[in-house]
Every structure is written in C-alpha cells, then in structure tokens.
Amino acid sequence: MKIKLFGIAREIVGSAELILPLDPPPKNVKDFKRWLCESYPEFSELRSLAIAVDHEYADDDVILPPNAEIALIPPVSGG
C-alpha cells in the first residue's frame, strides 16, 4: 500500500510518501491508524487527521483493499 503524506504528516514522517511495511497489511482504517500511531507517536498528538482511501475520505470501518492508495490529510489552518 502506498501512503501519501501532506502538511504536518509529511514533516512527522520525513517524506512525502510511505510504503506500508506490514504483511499482512491492516484490514481497515482503524487498524491503519493504530499502526500509524505506534510507528510514529507524534500522530497521536494531532487533534484530527483525515484518512482518504482511493481519493475518498474514509471512516474507521472502511476496508483497505490490497492496492489501496491512502492519503493522510492533517488539519489545516486558514484565514
């Protein structure tokens, strides 16, 4: 699974993309978030973090297909 990172997510990981190293990969978004916070504890400090799966925002119960493209979309500030 390929993971695209934006904003603070990119800063936390130190890269614009990340390849999920797990075999087997997480089954759903909730399991993915758990792995993410265990691997990069800074994510657990964010107030919110949207997850998109194949270009659509996804809730925790969304199943992750084997070749899914995941995007981490952190909170943004604007004015």
Is residue 3, in this structure, part of any structural domain at all? Answer: no
Can you list the residues of the chain whose pLDDT is less than 50? none
pLDDT for the residue numbered 77? 59
In terms of residue numbers, what domain contains 36? 24-61
The total of structural domains in the chain comes to 1
Is residue 15, in this structure, part of any structural domain at all? Answer: no
Tell me the three-class secondary structure of the chain, residue by residue: CEEEECCHHHHHHCCCEEECCCCCCCCEHHHHHHHHHHHCHHHHHCCCCEEEECCEECCCCCECCCCCEEEEECCCCCC
Distances (CA, A) of 49 to 3, 23, 34, 60: 14, 24, 12, 12
Spatial distance between the Cα atoms of 70 and 20, rounded to a whole number of angstroms: 10
Is residue 49, in this structure, part of any structural domain at all? Answer: yes
Is residue 42, in this structure, part of any structural domain at all? Answer: yes
pLDDT for the residue numbered 51? 95
What is the pTM (predicted TM-score) of this model? Answer: 0.86
pLDDT for the residue numbered 35? 92
Is residue 74, in this structure, part of any structural domain at all? Answer: no
